[in-house]
Amino acid sequence: MKLDSYWLDTAPPLVSACEGPVEGQTDVVVIGGGFTGLSAAQALGKRGASVTVLDAGRIGGGASGRNGGQVNTGVAQDFVALVAQLGVERASACYRAFSDAVDTVERLIREEGIDCNYIATGKLKLASKPHHFAHLEKTAELIRREVDTDIELIGRERIRDEIQSDSFHGGLLQRHGGQMHMGKFTVGLASAAVRRGAKLYENAAVTAIAKDGGGFKVTTERGEVRAKQVLIATGPSRHGPFGWYRRRLAPIGSFIVVTEPLSPDLLTQVFPNQRAYTTTRLMHNYFRVTPDSRLLFGGRARFTASEQPSDAKSGRILQQGLAELFPMLAGARIDYCWGGLVDMTADRLPHAGQHDGIYFSLGYSGHGTQMSTHMGQVMADVMDGHEERNPWRESEWPAIPGHTGKPWFLPLVGTYYRIKDIFY
């Protein structure tokens, strides 16, 4: 079993990273080489801007290369709860923003010719308990009435047409969305940014950002560069001069296992439509079939940071969960196991804008594959003077109470979620 991301391990090599020192002058420095940063570099380059992308590690090596591979419409939290929190108009705008994000991913794949095994099969949210399905009925009614008619409620009597498991009591199908190979998409998006003139630097952790005349001086472990504008797209970075952002993000571990290649006939039997799947539990699971006929199975197995001993323990928990949901797959060997950090915000919505003259887009809260790519394009517009393009511009972003950057409260949250899953 490899304690590595399947996406990163099976992606083609990235041959376009710069090997020399970080130096000189550029129009824009983008800090973070994930989907937000690469998408912004591609869009800014199309406008003729010179762009330097700095990543503390591997391009795409953070959340962008360590997630479940789903590209879906739908906000991180329940839509009924979001309407209660924000009102119908704002909640519907959030939903439409995620729908627009799916369109952005599909457009970039098409326009840039990115080979990433994209399939548009939608997402099926599976009710883990009978009363969860009753809530999905209310959710479906509200979504259909207010914002999206291309959904379908699937009752228990038909759920086995979608998935061969006795563990689910129905589901909500949102058709607008799909899935892709995250490593291949990373390399394709990075190549597109380089074609537009961007310079990509790996292992170039940022250590300081200082105002410099009308722009900024960005210091890294590989040198320094001056820029007119800076975009922070780092996710839950635990190092560097990003304390203001760390106090607003809770870095929650999410863990994934991938099986050995399985019989395509067996997978078609268990998952006849091969959608992206997620369950309704708070300690939920998400899963999908990979392009080479493996099952990817993930979830919040433990509320802890991702590191190899922890990843292996979380992997064993996920393997047990997989066997409980799909007994016919219980004997499958696990080939990959890894973890990553989700940049969770208190309201579970993204946040983007400016702080001290520096642009940022962060906080995708576990739904970042499509939204991060979309916000890279959006932030290129915002940095070009079109603030109205930012769907999150009116959202306040206070610090998480008592949070100074180290998430001491995560074990408490995990215990609360486990207890609530028992009774809810």
If pLDDT is split at 50, 70 and 90, which confidence band does 19 have? very high
Give which of 314, 270, 316 is closest to 289, Cα–Cα: 270
Instruction: Note the pLDDT tens digit of each residue in 198-244.
Output: 999 999 999 999 999 999 999 999 999 999 999 999 987 778 999 99
**E-assigned strand segments in 260-411:** 276-279, 285-289, 295-299, 334-344, 351-355, 358-362
DSSP annotation of 2 reads B
Instruction: Note the pLDDT tens digit of each residue in 338-366.
Output: 988 888 899 999 999 999 999 999 999 98
Q: What is the pLDDT of residue 392?
A: 97
DSSP annotation of 180 reads -
Contact status, residue 10 vs residue 183, Cβ threshold 8 Å: yes
The CATH code for residues 6-414 is 3.50.50.60
Instruction: Note the pLDDT tens digit of each residue in 35-46.
Output: 999 999 999 999
Q: What backbone phi and psi angles, to 5 degrees, belong to 329? A: -110, 10
Instruction: Note the pLDDT tens digit of each residue in 72-112.
Output: 987 767 899 999 999 999 999 999 999 999 999 999 999 99
Tokens 């391009």 locate to 59
Task: State the Cα torsion 28-33-39-42 to the nearest 10°.
Answer: 50
Model-level pTM? 0.94
Contact status, residue 174 vs residue 95, Cβ threshold 8 Å: no
Q: What is the pLDDT of residue 305?
A: 55
Instruction: Note the pLDDT tens digit of each residue in 128-162.
Output: 999 999 999 999 999 999 999 999 999 999 999 99
Alpha carbon distance 119, 115 (integer Å): 11
Q: What is the pLDDT of residue 342?
A: 85
Alpha carbon distance 161, 170 (integer Å): 11
Instruction: Note the pLDDT tens digit of each residue in 285-310.
Output: 999 999 999 999 999 745 555 555 66
Q: What backbone phi and psi angles, to 5 degrees, belong to 404? A: -110, 5
Alpha carbon distance 247, 404 (integer Å): 5
Q: What is the pLDDT of residue 416?
A: 46
Over range 20-38, report the average pLDDT.
98
Q: What is the pLDDT of residue 282?
A: 74
Secondary structure (DSSP) of 7-73 = HHHTSPP---B--S-B-SEEEEEEE--SHHHHHHHHHHHHTT--EEEE-SSSTT-SGGGSS--EEES
